[in-house]
Structure 1
Amino acid sequence: MAGECVPEGPNLKEMSEEELWELINDNRHRISLGVRPCILIPYLRQVKVLTEVDEDEILSCHNLTNRCMRTSYMLDLLRTQGRNGAIALLEGLMIHYPTLYTQVTGRKPSTEPSRFSGLIKYSELTEYLIRAVTGMQTELQEARNEAGKMSARCSSLESEVGQLMEQEEKSRNLQAENGRLQRHLSSLQREVTKLKDEKCDLYIRYTVAIEEKSALNGRLHDLNLQVYQLQTELQNIQMEKEFHKQRSLRNLSSSHTPQLQEAHKDILEQDLAEAIDSQVELAEHLKSYREENEKLLREKQGLLDQTETLSLQVQQLSLDCKMHQQKSTVVQSQMKELQVERDQAYQSRDDAQAMIARILAEKDTLRSQLVELQEAVFALQAKRSPRIKLQSSDVKERSWDSETSSSEECLLPVRRRLRRMDALNPMSLSSCLSESENALPTSVRSKGVEPPSPESLRRRQEILYEDSSLEAAETDSLLDEFVFLPDGGEDEQKPRSPSTRSSVCLSRSSAPPFLVRSRPKAIRVNGRVLSISLQCEALLSQITVVGGNKSGVFVHQVTEGSAAHTVGISPGAQIVEVRHEQNNKALKMVLEDSTLEEATWALSQVSGFCQLSLRPRQNDYEALLQQLQNSKMSSGDSFYIRVNLSLSAGASWTLAVSCNDILHVTNTRPAGTEDLWHASQVHPCKLLDLQSGTVPNYYRAQRLLIQTIEDMSFQTKKCQKVGRLNTQSEQKVVRIVSTGRQGRNPLWVSVEEENNKSTESGPPSASKSCVTLMPFTLVTPHFPPVCRPILLLPTILGRMLDKKLASWQGFQLCEPEVLTSSEHAARLQRSEILEEVEPGGNQCFTLQSVDKVMKKGLHCVLPLGLDCVRRLHRYEIFPIIIFIGVSARSARKLRSKLQRKGQTEEQLLSCLKSEEPLLDKLPCLYHSMAPDSWCDLNSLLTSLRTIIWEEQRKIVWVEPDLW
């Protein structure tokens, strides 16, 4: 601001108060756009035209949703100070915005004392400027120190990366050597198996030979008996022959007749011939029997030799069998010891869970007492209806950002909503302890504030009746399916959101901001969980993991000889939870549904004594490996995200995405890349993957988001002016979404400090003060019925189009219901009132009126505001939200119709400007129409019909509640 000031406009000292403010009001639009109140307020406070209360109201009022509104409100406050306020404003512009000062006054800025009005002394002004410069120098020095620290940190990280690469190379060599040894061991095992098979074959042949030998001995014994019988018969025949011969000789001596002698001779010759024939035949039989006997003797000798050989092999097999029996005995003894330890662990677990069940029963009693007190408070509040109606009318005038609760919470006193998440029902605990492993576990979830609905009471009675009728079985089967986590307080979120507990707010070097979340009080697990404790220097250097949030994180390889290998960690076990100590704090990280990137980061933090909770899932692990080998999937990760910034295809990543695109992430650690995810674009109407590629991971995308916001914030005035002219036609670049540590997101791994037990009544924990910008948000697909409700925005234009849209075939306008005071209170308690027609009136738009129209197969046209969207989402109703862009030119075409409604063009544009920033806070996607896409009301209605038909076919993607 150095240099001589040459007058080019009117002299400010000679101008009156009205002239000064007329000059300011003529340039009010330019000042509102170009001035930041936080920069001018210190000077205005110095000259005492603004107070501390004014400063707090300007910077903290919820009704002032943007910078322009805050600047305009500051000008209104200065107007009340008269001439001093105008002079102070112009002097502040001359100090901080010299270019704007010249544009407003037509004079060049100057720092000479004579140029100032005298509201502040020259020495005080110099002191103020010195303080400002000193503060800026301090900030600059701090920024430089921070840059130096980051450079040192970067150098240390680069050295760590080099060491990690060396370790990875060594690990790769060890893995190759391990693979070779395993292949050699497999070949040796195959040879041993082959030898055992050959021994079994020889033993079988030996048994068959013994049986054949026994059969041959029996046959030889029979043949010897037959030979002995034949020899006996031959001797008898010979003796009989001699006897007959002697007798015939005696008869011949006594007989003298020649006829007798001749007849006797013939008989003897015939007998002799027959005896000779029989002896020859017997001799031949005896010869054949002797030959067969010699053959059997030779075979017997061969079998004896073979028997000796087989006996030696049998002795060797007997020794091997004794050795295996000894090993089996040792293994069985160890198994018995493990069973005893397991039974002791189960008994300890049962005692702990019984104690937890008793605590839950006591808490249920206290909750019932609290509900009774709340009902009494509600009865008292119902009697104060005039005051409540007045409060509800004030609440409806607030903007989306200033809302901290729904309309029903505005009518009632602030109180906590009761939640009981995934806890065992204490009334049926005794029956649950005896249920079998396949029995239904009893779990009661209270999704709303008491009193419950009749349908809820009926379901609870049916569950209790089924539990009481089940037969008793194993005691520990049901308790194995629940893992109880420490309770940190009551929950104010939906049933899916975690209960309030103190989380550890870690820095980027210790725990990334998106890797922190809370967990439910109790989560259901399948199968038994084994806890293993070990002492190791770096756990991730001893094991490698595969999988992801869809399949689970499994141990893939274990370094042989390491501490993990010594305690019995083997491939195929799912890592459920990790407990370790860090900075003298006991931390617990739940990895049951974490991504592969999260699990790798979490395990890399573990050093020293740790405890792993593992679940054996060998079949699932082998199925995952088979799918990875067949290239059916690249990892075990699978989740859908909504992109909150536009990314062009760069050198590192290949997929170009726009803001509000939906991506299917299938691998958070693709091979050969760093800080990248593998993702695919999703078909808008079908759950199909389209173009695939890589995108920056959460951290890298977060840095790009911050850089984009900084670039947008520090644009020049000329670029801002051009941007204002084209902002309605250009595509959105970023979507600002921030969340606290209580938010649920699958990109966050649970890092909890086990001994930290903060309560709601105590001071706010560190986690509540941590807010982070989110480049990606988790979304889940929903497939609503055929006809979805229609919500048109901005509200003023939507009210003009609702009746015309309802006159079409297939559309019907949502009609309000007239409720009594008791019905109004009951439905307000159940969050079924969407909006009141008039503040304090009995006519209300209710959930039942919307559901009634949808059951007819018609599109329900909602004459409501944005507040109804979250209430409809609670009941799985997803409206089609269409935001119609309006320019000043198109607003002039609606002037006559606006006048009939008693409204003006400025009100329409102001409504559009106030509601457009609120669209990004919705948990779902919306359709935005450009101002130049329609020229009159008829073309607008025609475009709406086409848009509704297209949006009806699309999948509805919904974000979780992040706060």
Structure 2
Amino acid sequence: MTLSLFFVGASDTACEAARVLSFKKSSPNLSLGISTIGGNAVGIFVHEVQPQSFAFGHDGLHCCDQILEYNGVDFRKLTAEEASLELTKPCPSVRMLVQYNPARYKKVYNQPGDHFYVRVHFDHTADNHGELSFKKNDILLVESTIHDGKLGHWFAWLVDDEGRKTQKCGTIPSKERLEDDFNLKRSQSENEFEDLKGSRRGSGNVRRSFLQRRKHKRNNSKDSREFNSFSDASLNSDSVPQLDDISVYTYTKIERMECKKIRPVILLAPLSDPLIKKLVSESPDIYLACQPAVMQASVQVMEQGLADGTYIDYWQEDDHFVCIRVTSIHEISDKGMHSLLNGSPSSIERLHRQHIYPIVIFARHKSVKQLRELRDPQFLPERLNAKAAKDIFEKFQKFEKDYNHQFSAVIQGGNIAEMHQQIKTVISSEQKKGIWVPSVL
């Protein structure tokens, strides 16, 4: 084992100059032999160095050293969990940038080290005292990613829509632990399938039933893409996600931001067209319908437009395609007006990728009968027939089940005038609010 030491320029806010330590380990699996405190909110600090550690000594690590970099990884914004996982990775040598900062160490010693928000994508019921129960779409503030020194457990608070703590707090399973559980379930499910396939006693009906449970149909139509999404995953589900990115079934890290631009509005309503017409007709200085563009192109060209963010949605009409362009939304917003979109739920996520955060309003109707009875002399002169009303009602029931976490507000379906007034109230209120947007976890 060899150790070398030299100094780099001092930080403006540090008590001492930052220094670089380099060690060669006798074995890649040899532990660094230190304990740390802190997290992404305060930084990672050395708390204790074991006497037998190769980093121990006058020229090594000391209590109160802040770890700024470790083997090329920036530690300044790592959570306690992320830092611990980096420090325990096997490696033949160690190179660290550290800074002795006892004043800051003392200040953060008894404070929560981590601080970030997550939106949860499953229901969780606490089994033991001290654990936190939560529901799908709740927002949590995580303050420790190694609670009581244990990997796999986070400490979190349930917060309201403004990010304020409620009275509910406790431990929750970590993101990595959840993903490990999902991978285990997926592996067990695949093994079960192989056992069924290889078993002579396994009947064709059993195999078909198992496959049907796991298989997700694909269809290029606008509506079927929404219907076949997988969004009800939970740890207690028999179905196991078959996607590469299983993180979408655990937690999504989010942050709250103020939206200074006029936000577009997506109306997820069975009768969105007459509602949009009424809004534009009565308030043309506030609302403008986003007109779809007609495209004579191939499916491949249209799909590429979705992929590169040129369009947020498209569908086929007769022998051509119709699409909603991102530039059209920007142009309306730049005029200081709300663009009104009759888009699909999948367009919400595509807008988010373009850093556009729409106000999403869902209209919930009580029954097929209520839909059939709706009529407006100017904007909906003809009632829906029985089949159309039933199909639309079931379609929007599915939308609510799969995409409710994307809704800004839910209004009660009624006559056109009532819904029109509710929508105006929601838009005015939501435009003033801060919004939660995804960030990198």
Counterpart amino acid of residue 851 in structure 1: H
Which residue of 324, 329, 334 corresponds with 1:845?
324
Counterpart amino acid of residue 45 in structure 2: F
**Alignment length (residue pairs):** 365
Could you say which residue in structure 2 is the equivalent of 1:857?
A: 336
Listed as ranges, the matches of 1:400-415 within 5 Å are none
Counterpart amino acid of residue 31 in structure 2: L
- Tell me how far apart the structure 1 counterparts of residues 134 and 265 of structure 2 sit (CA, whole Å): 28
Listed as ranges, the matches of 1:238-637 within 5 Å are 530-535=21-26, 539=31, 542-566=33-57, 568-571=60-63, 572-574=65-67, 576-577=69-70, 593-604=77-88, 606=90, 610-619=92-101, 622-629=102-109, 633-635=111-113, 637=114
Contact 1:791 1:861 in 2 (8 A): yes
Which residue of 284, 287, 291 corresponds with 1:811?
287
- Tell me how far apart the structure 1 counterparts of residues 382 and 26 of structure 2 sit (CA, whole Å): 78
- Tell me how far apart the structure 1 counterparts of residues 179 and 325 of structure 2 sit (CA, whole Å): 44
Contact 2:256 2:436 in 1 (8 A): yes
Q: Does 1:888 align with 2:363?
A: no
Could you say which residue in structure 1 is the equivalent of 2:202?
A: none
Note the residue ranges of structure 1 that are not aligned, 5 or more in a row: 1-334, 347-435, 439-525, 579-587, 710-733, 739-766
- Tell me how far apart the structure 2 counterparts of residues 645 and 944 of structure 1 sit (CA, whole Å): 29
Counterpart amino acid of residue 46 in structure 2: V
Q: Does 1:641 align with 2:118?
A: yes
- Tell me how far apart the structure 1 counterparts of residues 434 and 112 of structure 2 sit (CA, whole Å): 25
Counterpart amino acid of residue 145 in structure 2: T
The 1:695/1:808 distance shift into structure 2, 3 A limit, reads farther
- Tell me how far apart the structure 1 counterparts of residues 316 and 149 of structure 2 sit (CA, whole Å): 62
Per-residue CA shift, 1:267-321, capped at 9, x if unaligned? xxxxxxxxxxxxxxxxxxxxxxxxxxxxxxxxxxxxxxxxxxxxxxxxxxxxxxx
Contact 2:371 2:384 in 1 (8 A): no
Q: Per the alignment, in what secondary structure is the counterpart of residue 868 of structure 1? A: helix
Could you say which residue in structure 2 is the equivalent of 1:181?
A: none
The 1:737/1:529 distance shift into structure 2, 3 A limit, reads farther
- Tell me how far apart the structure 2 counterparts of residues 853 and 539 of structure 1 sit (CA, whole Å): 58
The 1:813/1:624 distance shift into structure 2, 3 A limit, reads same
What is the CA-CA distance between 1:642 and the residue it aligns to? 0.4
Contact 2:5 2:21 in 1 (8 A): no
- Tell me how far apart the structure 1 counterparts of residues 155 and 176 of structure 2 sit (CA, whole Å): 14
- Tell me how far apart the structure 2 counterparts of residues 881 and 639 of structure 1 sit (CA, whole Å): 25
What is the CA-CA distance between 1:874 and the residue it aligns to? 3.4
Counterpart amino acid of residue 570 in structure 1: H
Contact 1:837 1:845 in 2 (8 A): no
- Tell me how far apart the structure 1 counterparts of residues 124 and 281 of structure 2 sit (CA, whole Å): 42
The 1:562/1:865 distance shift into structure 2, 3 A limit, reads closer
Could you say which residue in structure 1 is the equivalent of 2:410?
A: 929
Flag the structure with more relative contact order, 1 or 2, with Cα contacts below 8 A and sequence separation at least 6.
2
What is the CA-CA distance between 1:558 and the residue it aligns to? 0.7
Counterpart amino acid of residue 258 in structure 2: F
Which residue of 220, 223, 233 corresponds with 1:736?
233
- Tell me how far apart the structure 1 counterparts of residues 151 and 53 of structure 2 sit (CA, whole Å): 28
- Tell me how far apart the structure 2 counterparts of residues 658 and 704 of structure 1 sit (CA, whole Å): 21
Contact 1:653 1:676 in 2 (8 A): no
- Tell me how far apart the structure 1 counterparts of residues 294 and 104 of structure 2 sit (CA, whole Å): 58
- Tell me how far apart the structure 2 counterparts of residues 818 and 768 of structure 1 sit (CA, whole Å): 33
- Tell me how far apart the structure 1 counterparts of residues 321 and 150 of structure 2 sit (CA, whole Å): 62
What is the CA-CA distance between 1:836 and the residue it aligns to? 5.1
Contact 2:123 2:234 in 1 (8 A): no
Could you say which residue in structure 1 is the equivalent of 2:309?
A: 831
Could you say which residue in structure 2 is the equivalent of 1:665?
A: 142
The 1:881/1:776 distance shift into structure 2, 3 A limit, reads same
Counterpart amino acid of residue 554 in structure 1: F
Q: Which has the higher helix share?
A: 1
Contact 1:790 1:860 in 2 (8 A): yes
Whichever of the two has the greater Rg, that structure is: 1
Q: Does 1:868 align with 2:347?
A: yes
Could you say which residue in structure 2 is the equivalent of 1:43?
A: none
What is the CA-CA distance between 1:559 and the residue it aligns to? 1.8
Counterpart amino acid of residue 677 in structure 1: W
- Tell me how far apart the structure 2 counterparts of residues 899 and 768 of structure 1 sit (CA, whole Å): 44
The 1:895/1:702 distance shift into structure 2, 3 A limit, reads farther
Q: Does 1:652 align with 2:129?
A: yes
- Tell me how far apart the structure 1 counterparts of residues 243 and 123 of structure 2 sit (CA, whole Å): 29
The 1:568/1:854 distance shift into structure 2, 3 A limit, reads same
Which residue of 777, 787, 808 corresponds with 2:262?
787
Q: Per the alignment, in what secondary structure is the counterpart of residue 807 of structure 1? A: helix
The 1:876/1:703 distance shift into structure 2, 3 A limit, reads closer
What is the CA-CA distance between 1:782 and the residue it aligns to? 3.0
Could you say which residue in structure 2 is the equivalent of 1:508?
A: none
- Tell me how far apart the structure 2 counterparts of residues 799 and 910 of structure 1 sit (CA, whole Å): 18
The TM-score normalised by the length of structure 1 is 0.33
Counterpart amino acid of residue 669 in structure 1: I
What is the CA-CA distance between 1:774 and the residue it aligns to? 3.4
What is the CA-CA distance between 1:595 and the residue it aligns to? 1.9
Contact 1:532 1:612 in 2 (8 A): yes
- Tell me how far apart the structure 2 counterparts of residues 768 and 877 of structure 1 sit (CA, whole Å): 26
The 1:704/1:881 distance shift into structure 2, 3 A limit, reads farther
What is the CA-CA distance between 1:817 and the residue it aligns to? 5.3
Counterpart amino acid of residue 803 in structure 1: K
Counterpart amino acid of residue 799 in structure 1: D
Q: Does 1:802 align with 2:276?
A: yes
Q: Per the alignment, in what secondary structure is the counterpart of residue 550 of structure 1? A: coil
Q: Which moved more, 1:658-667 or 1:946-955?
A: 946-955
Counterpart amino acid of residue 831 in structure 1: G
Per-residue CA shift, 1:141-200, capped at 9, x if unaligned? xxxxxxxxxxxxxxxxxxxxxxxxxxxxxxxxxxxxxxxxxxxxxxxxxxxxxxxxxxxx
Listed as ranges, the matches of 1:159-170 within 5 Å are none
- Tell me how far apart the structure 2 counterparts of residues 853 and 615 of structure 1 sit (CA, whole Å): 49
Q: Which has the higher strand share?
A: 2
What is the CA-CA distance between 1:643 and the residue it aligns to? 1.5
- Tell me how far apart the structure 1 counterparts of residues 261 and 134 of structure 2 sit (CA, whole Å): 29
The 1:544/1:841 distance shift into structure 2, 3 A limit, reads same
Q: Per the alignment, in what secondary structure is the counterpart of residue 56 of structure 2? A: helix
- Tell me how far apart the structure 2 counterparts of residues 768 and 863 of structure 1 sit (CA, whole Å): 29
What is the CA-CA distance between 1:813 and the residue it aligns to? 1.7
Q: Per the alignment, in what secondary structure is the counterpart of residue 555 of structure 1? A: strand
Q: Per the alignment, in what secondary structure is the counterpart of residue 539 of structure 1? A: coil
Contact 1:544 1:557 in 2 (8 A): yes
The 1:844/1:783 distance shift into structure 2, 3 A limit, reads same
What is the CA-CA distance between 1:668 and the residue it aligns to? 1.7
What is the CA-CA distance between 1:837 and the residue it aligns to? 7.5
Counterpart amino acid of residue 274 in structure 2: M
Counterpart amino acid of residue 154 in structure 2: W
- Tell me how far apart the structure 1 counterparts of residues 427 and 255 of structure 2 sit (CA, whole Å): 22
The TM-score normalised by the length of structure 2 is 0.65
The 1:800/1:702 distance shift into structure 2, 3 A limit, reads farther
What is the CA-CA distance between 1:818 and the residue it aligns to? 7.1
- Tell me how far apart the structure 2 counterparts of residues 898 and 904 of structure 1 sit (CA, whole Å): 16
- RMSD in angstroms over aligned alpha carbons? 4.7
The 1:812/1:437 distance shift into structure 2, 3 A limit, reads farther
The 1:913/1:704 distance shift into structure 2, 3 A limit, reads farther
The 1:961/1:869 distance shift into structure 2, 3 A limit, reads farther
Could you say which residue in structure 1 is the equivalent of 2:395?
A: 911
What is the CA-CA distance between 1:694 and the residue it aligns to? 1.6
- Tell me how far apart the structure 2 counterparts of residues 658 and 576 of structure 1 sit (CA, whole Å): 37
Contact 1:736 1:773 in 2 (8 A): no
Counterpart amino acid of residue 776 in structure 1: Y
What is the CA-CA distance between 1:653 and the residue it aligns to? 2.8
